């Protein structure tokens, strides 16, 4: 495993880390504590030392499992969680310092941790980024020892650019993958200048970039890849990175042609993200040990060639950019 510095936090973290939205089972399935603990421990055994969760993942069961495993390990494992999505309706007026303080304290109790290494605002409405009193709350929580660092998880590049204007924001979690390349422009430059850690999420475009899906693939009723393709439950960009399924499949076929001797397209997709030095880590999820092991192999993959990077960019420019580039 290779390691990178997570911006102003100073944390030296695994470049392939672990996202835990689905760590307790497949989308829509009941949470399985034993499966979650098996995946978490295997990840740590193989050098992962940064785990991302949220208070709403599996109604808090993911966060609890992460805390339970990390407390039992001797290694230094950094835990990032999130707050804000429990606000319903999820609107600007619901974001109040007292409410967010309560969420942080709930996460401490749920995880059993003494402090949270990184607390992240969880894709708040855009208006929240214009409210200094929300961000100053986390200075108080840091002084009290309840958190160590503040970050944000964002939907849009514009939100990321606004968030890093606050001096106490150390990290930005943003969708970045072969099908969502816009962050690598202005945002990466500004983040580098301000020493912001970048956490690349949805790195496989909800599985599209594994190359395992086809026109006949079906998804369970409780799977967001079934019910959220048009953004009915949450931001459309979270599902297949906002690309319509058929267009995504067509682009994947072109990607396969660039890497004809590599059956595991997921490993290539993760390696592509790691080609950008501004990225501190990426956080692919895993609901099985096989998926986890496939993800971890990306760290030891050879760098992509300039020709391969150019071909990936061409596919994006010709087939994907018109669909998503200015939306997020």
Domains in the chain with CATH codes? 3-205+266-303 (3.20.20.100)
Give the predicted TM-score (pTM) of the model.
0.92
325/328 Cα distance (integer angstroms) = 6
Q: What is the DSSP letter of 198?
A: E
Going by C-beta distance under 8 Å and a sequence separation of 6 or more, which residues neighbour residue 158? 126
User: pLDDT tens string for the chain (328 positions)?
Assistant: 999 999 999 999 999 999 998 887 666 678 899 999 999 999 999 999 999 999 999 999 999 999 999 999 999 999 999 999 999 999 999 999 999 999 999 999 999 999 999 999 999 999 999 999 999 999 999 999 999 999 999 999 999 999 999 999 999 999 999 999 999 999 999 999 999 999 999 999 887 898 777 666 766 666 666 565 565 556 666 777 788 888 888 888 999 999 988 878 999 999 999 999 999 999 999 989 999 999 999 999 999 999 999 999 999 999 999 888 787 6
Cα 109 to the center of its chain, rounded Å: 23
As a 3-state breakdown, the chain gives helix, strand, coil percent values, each rounded to 5, of: 50, 15, 40
Between the two ends of the chain, the Cα-to-Cα distance in Å is: 31
322/318 Cα distance (integer angstroms) = 8
The predicted pLDDT at position 217 comes to 74
Number of other residues whose CB lies within 10 A of the CB of residue 47: 16
The predicted pLDDT at position 324 comes to 85
* Residues with active-site annotation: 57
140/248 Cα distance (integer angstroms) = 44
15 within 8 A of 204, measured Cβ to Cβ: no
132/204 Cα distance (integer angstroms) = 34
301/17 Cα distance (integer angstroms) = 15
282/123 Cα distance (integer angstroms) = 17
């Amino acid at each position: 495993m290779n390691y990178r510095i997570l911006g102003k936090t100073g944390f030296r973290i695994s470049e392939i880390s672990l996202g835990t939205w689905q760590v307790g089972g497949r989308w829509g399935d009941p949470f399985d504590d034993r499966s979650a603990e098996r995946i978490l421990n295997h990840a740590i055994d193989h050098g992962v030392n940064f785990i991302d969760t949220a208070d709403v993942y599996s109604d808090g069961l993911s966060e609890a499992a992460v805390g339970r495993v990390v407390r039992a390990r001797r290694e230094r494992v950094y835990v990032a969680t999130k707050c804000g999505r429990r606000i319903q309706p999820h609107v600007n007026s619901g974001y109040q310092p007292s409410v967010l303080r309560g969420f942080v304290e709930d996460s401490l109790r749920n995880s059993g941790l003494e402090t949270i290494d990184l607390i992240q605002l969880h894709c708040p409405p855009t208006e929240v980024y214009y409210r200094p009193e929300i961000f100053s709350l986390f200075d108080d929580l840091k002084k009290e020892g309840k958190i160590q660092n503040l970050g944000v998880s964002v939907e849009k590049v514009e939100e990321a650019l606004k968030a890093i204007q606050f001096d106490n924001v150390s990290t930005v979690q943003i969708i970045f993958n072969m099908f969502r390349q816009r962050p690598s422009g202005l945002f990466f430059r500004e983040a580098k200048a301000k020493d912001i850690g970048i956490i690349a999420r949805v790195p496989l475009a909800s599985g599209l970039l594994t190359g395992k899906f086809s026109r006949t693939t079906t998804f369970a009723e409780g799977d967001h890849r079934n019910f959220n393709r048009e953004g009915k439950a949450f931001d459309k960009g979270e599902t297949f990175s906002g690309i319509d399924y058929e267009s995504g499949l067509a682009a994947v076929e072109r990607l396969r042609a660039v890497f004809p001797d590599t059956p595991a397209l997921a490993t290539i997709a993760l390696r592509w993200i790691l080609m950008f030095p501004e990225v501190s880590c990426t956080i692919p999820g895993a609901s099985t040990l096989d998926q986890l092991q496939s993800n971890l192999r990306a760290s030891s993959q050879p760098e992509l060639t300039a020709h391969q990077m150019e071909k990936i960019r061409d596919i994006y420019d010709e087939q994907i950019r018109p669909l998503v580039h200015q939306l997020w």
